[in-house]
Amino acid sequence: MDIAIAGGHGKIALLLSSLLSADGHRVRGLVRNADHGDDLRAVGAEPVVLDLEKADDAEVAEAIAGADAVVFAAGAGPGSTAERKLTLDRDGAILLADAAVQAGVRRYLIVSAIGTDSFDPESDDVFQIYLRAKSEADAAVRERDLDWTIVRPGGLKDEPGTGSVSAAPELPRGDIPRADVAAVLAELLRSGGAVRKQFDLTTGSTPIAEAVAAL
């Protein structure tokens, strides 16, 4: 397969790139900063310099042309402004979806977050804006004519993966290693499973392949 990952220098994206390239797939990592290229190449990904906050859908479509799937794993990150939560976490995800439609790339995976639909629409708190951005991005992706899957992980941890998860339309809040999120994304791409499905994801007792197959 040929997979393009937006937010290619993020922690989940780098872990996913390593898994996919080890399986022999071509991986393109979309990054804003050209200086991150060596980090991507170290995990077997090809860096493609593209700023999702400045590009239009035609430019993004050109960058992902010929891909079998795209993954939105970008995010403004901790400490970023409320404005960037909207311009990247929300608008960037929608831009990638529109570009995928334009480029004829049907498979679209998006890394969202657990509990996003519970945001307070009246609040100007940055975290509430983040939840709103994710929720609105997910809603827009669901409206596109794509083979989408929305993955909503719990609190992300930089710990070794366990290889076992809980995956269901709704789960209590919990944590999960980024390595297990990456492994779930890789399994979704390999299996083609969970098309047009949205699910929460936390650490659990079900092996990843079984959890994905049961969705």
Measured CA to CA in angstroms, residue 103 lies from 46, 59, 73, 90, 144 at distances of 19, 10, 19, 20, 13
Task: Check 130, 131, 152, 200 and give the catalytic one.
Answer: 130
Helices of type H across the chain: 11-22, 37-42, 57-64, 82-84, 91-103, 126-143, 178-191, 208-213
Measure the CA–CA gap between 41 and 62, rounded to whole angstroms: 21
**Is 130 an active-site residue?**
yes
Measure the CA–CA gap between 101 and 98, rounded to whole angstroms: 5
Within 10 A of 26 (CB to CB), how many other CB atoms are there?
16
Question: Would you say 139 and 195 are in contact if contact means Cβ atoms under 8 Å apart?
Answer: no
Which of 120, 133, 112, 95 shows the shortest CA–CA distance to 198? 112
Which residues are known to be catalytic? Answer: 130
